[in-house]
A and B are shown apart, each in its own frame.
Chain A
Amino acid sequence: MRSLLIVLFLCAGLGYFHQGQAVELTGRSPVRVESVQTEFTQEKHLPILVRPIISKGTFVFQAPGSLRWEYLAPIHSVLLLHDGRIRKFIEQNGKFVEESGMGVDSMQIILQEITGWLDGNIADTPTFHATVQENGIILLTPKEPALAKIISRIELRLADQSGLMESVVLYEGADSLTKLIFAHAVLNAKIPAVTFTQP
């Protein structure tokens, strides 16, 4: 579970925190990312699904380590990271209910991983090997066999605007994947702190 969630959060974070790595891997000019706000559409593909499950939401990041990851549909949920504390809320009957236990502890470890990622380099991550394919896609493959059983690979596609990501595709198996497509991104706008403290 821990490894799985690590990758999940890395996927979200990778979209915007890769400028150093992108320079190294793709030769693009660096952009200092202070904040990012974007919408996303998520497609979940599974062999047993007759059509993918579509989720929509918003993603907000403020350096050095504040995060708001909100799914608006089909399940309204908000994950907040601020001052090293992670909280997860699910909307039930029109009110947000904080989820406790069952995974929240794992999320704290995961988001610590993200912070490490932000300061580091894709090529230097202890978790993944990173290579750039001919089509410009950054391919991440797990170093640990245990993680590889859960996540076979991650594909990152950079956006035209430096510092942003167009999409992330996470492969869990041969026919099971999660694709996040980002749109309407705003880079380095001022974001109120309450965004990261209240659902």
Chain B
Amino acid sequence: MKTDSTMKPIFFLIFLLLLTSCSGLQSVYLPELTGLEAIDGTQSRQLRQRCENYFVQGSWQFVHSIAFKLADGNGATVMGVTVLDGTKLKCALMGVEGFVLFEAVLDEELEVSRALPPFDNPEFARGLMRDVQTIFLPPSVQRPLTGQLADGEPVCRYYGEDGKIIDILFAEDDSSRMNIYGPDLSRIRSIISGSRVPVAAEMIPETLELTASGLHGYTLTMTLISADKI
């Protein structure tokens, strides 16, 4: 096939797009936990305590603005209500104007009481509640491994029964992040917590940014509107 010269820039553009698309889909894998010997017993206890404090204790209600952005650039902003009551999780999503689009409770089972399009997909409901659970509730595994990554960053590593691995890491600027890896050790979620504000004797992140990796990736940027201990 003869290629017209005017087509060359288009092929080049397509090539570039493919290149950038693929780079965006490159998997990040679980880093090795090294420097375990550098963490002595006291440091390990302190780190473990810090990881416990990463999650709020007791019953809480949070209201966030949530900017939802899909990989294709489309997105929307909604208000989210999250209620933590022991292991029970209640969640509601509303439009900025206040209409309830989605409401569900996750206890032993997921119970969706309201789901309007485009939030009426069962997969969406499960995925959303799983994300909320990951953000707010500590891993079911009680005792994490503690250590450092190759760059010296302290980390708590939780090995879940479902094959997932969760790393909680702390940066020097007091921000923290959580990386979740699937059974194939590729990163599936990353949650960055911004600076924290004191509420009812606990430190609550003002912002949370969840990035879901993969072909159907998305980003949730959550900005705290209110936090109430209940």
Contacts and interface: CB of A to CB of B under 8 A. Distances in A.
Contact of B92 (A48, A92, A100, A178): A48
B116 interface: yes
Interface residues of B, number: 31
B38 interface: no
B94 interface: yes
Pick from B63, B96, B118 the residue with the most CB of A within 10 Å: B96
A56 B90 CA distance: 25
Given A4-B116, A150-B116, A42 B98 contact: yes
B65 A74 contact: yes
A50 B230 contact: yes
Contacts of B117: 1
A4 B114 CA distance: 12
Interface residues of A, number: 29
Given A46-B81, A102-B118, A176 B96 contact: no
Interface stretch (B41-49, B72-80, B149-157): B72-80
A100 B72 CA distance: 11
Contacts of A46: 81, 92, 100, 103
23 contacts: A8-B97, A8-B99, A42-B98, A46-B81, A48-B61, A49-B81, A50-B228, A55-B98, A71-B97, A74-B226, A75-B65, A75-B96, A77-B77, A90-B67, A100-B74, A101-B75, A101-B76, A102-B74, A103-B76, A103-B95, A172-B99, A178-B98, A178-B99
Interface of A: 1, 4-5, 8, 42, 44, 46, 48-51, 53, 55, 71, 74-75, 77, 90, 92, 99-103, 150, 172-173, 176, 178
